[in-house]
Amino acid sequence: MSLNPGASRRLRLPLLIAALAAALAPTACGSSSPDRSSATAASPSSGGATQTITVGVPRSFGYLSTLWARNVQPKGVKIEYKYFPVFTDMLTALNSGKIDLTEIGDIGAVQSYVNGGKVQAVAVTEPNAENCGLLVPKDSSVRQFADLKGKKIAFLKSTNSYIAFLHQVKAAGLKESDFHIVEITGPPANKAFQSGQLDAYYSIDPNLSDLVEKTGGREITSCKSAGVENRYTYVATKAAIEDKPKAVAAVVKAVADNIAWIQANPDRQAALLAPKLGFSESAIKTTYARGATALQPADAAFYATEQPVIDELVAAKIVARPVRASDVFISQFNADTTAGAAGS
């Protein structure tokens, strides 16, 4: 027996309401899906619009290379990594605003601040004083720094190597003019060292450890023995600090967590990073086993140790004018420098 049209409509209406309620139920109650949760957290409607930050990754040293190799992406932030095999190319990109943040030495941070005024240091590591040193060839008769008088030494005068050299010259009772300084670094310096054109070469890990393995070269002094701390500094453009502080904070926090991850996973890190950089796994493990184990807050204790370093750079004419450590190394992101911290 057929129903009349009115009865049919009355039956269909409750069914439609039930179906609609069932369809909306997961949205009303929330979803346990990680993808949905992540997307919601990063959506503009949730008040946490995604900020994109471009990070320059150096080959020559530091911790950003591991962050890049792991492709770490903090929640609510998109990191665009740009790898720079040639360090000077990265500095050019930073100074021209093509990248927002990168990793350089503390000398480079002070120089960039003084020369252009467009960048500031948002984080800095503990000392990496064992990660740089002076190498001589395996068959060299040199046993101590003073033995290098009159010989060829390679380094750049814009780096910590020059400060180490000046300290050692003074300790040996010699003069800078007693040595033949060759201002090269990276692959050209490696080639010159391996071909016997240099009597000594200041290098930095992981290149330092890799050269020792490949050539049998001997490290006769370290930055530590030369009285140089060799901190790695994370510098950001002032525009990035002002316009996307959430992204800058997220990168600082990611670096802090990444250093802790490296300490806990040396074999995994070496296997991941070695093919990316072209250094051996054992050189990678040596590098990070003797490197910094955390970031250093930009606080009163840090300023007290860094200011004399800056003053020495000015006296050596590496930096053009005096500057306060607190102007270069800002404390805005101190809360993000501790591994596992909530972040600012």
| Cβ within 8 Å of residue 172, ≥6 positions away | 145, 146, 149
- Is 215 exposed, middle or buried, given 0-12, 13-18 or 19+ CB atoms closer than 10 A? middle
- Is 298 exposed, middle or buried, given 0-12, 13-18 or 19+ CB atoms closer than 10 A? buried
Q: Whole-angstrom Cα distance, residue 337 to residue 110?
A: 20
Q: Whole-angstrom Cα distance, residue 342 to residue 178?
A: 53
Q: Which tens digits make up the pLDDT trace of 69-124? A: 999 999 999 999 999 998 889 989 998 889 999 999 999 999 999 988 899 999 99
| Cβ within 8 Å of residue 154, ≥6 positions away | 181, 182, 183, 184, 185, 189, 192, 193, 198, 200, 201, 202
One-character DSSP codes across 29-69: H----HHHHHHHHHSGGGT---EEEEEEEESSSSSHHHHHH
What per-residue string of b and e applies to 155-180 under the rule 16 or more CB within 10 Å gives b? bbebbbbbbbbbbbbeeeebeeeebe
Q: Which tens digits make up the pLDDT trace of 314-328? A: 999 999 999 999 999
Q: Which tens digits make up the pLDDT trace of 249-282? A: 999 999 999 999 999 999 999 999 999 999 999 9
- Determine the pLDDT at residue 48: 62
- Determine the pLDDT at residue 242: 97
Compute the half-sphere exposure of residue 107: CA atoms within 13 Å on the CB side of its CA: 19
Nearest to 145 by CA among 131, 161, 129, 160: 161
Rg (CA), the chain: 27
Sign (positive or negative) of CA dihedral 12, 13, 17, 18: negative
Cβ–Cβ under 8 Å, residues 254 and 153: no
- Per-residue pLDDT band for 206 (boundaries 50, 70, 90) equals very high
- Determine the pLDDT at residue 116: 81
Q: Give backbone dihedrals phi and psi of 198, rounded to 5 degrees, phi first.
A: -120, 145
Spell out the domains of the chain, with CATH numbers in brackets: 48-128+231-336 (3.40.190.10), 132-222 (3.40.190.10)
Q: Percent of the chain beyond pLDDT 70?
A: 85
Cα angle at 167 between 166 and 169, to 5 degrees? 60
User: Pairing mode, if any, of strands 232-237 and 119-125?
Assistant: antiparallel
Chain CA centroid to CA 275, Å: 18
40 or 202, which is more confident? 202
Q: Per-residue pLDDT for 180 more than 60?
A: yes
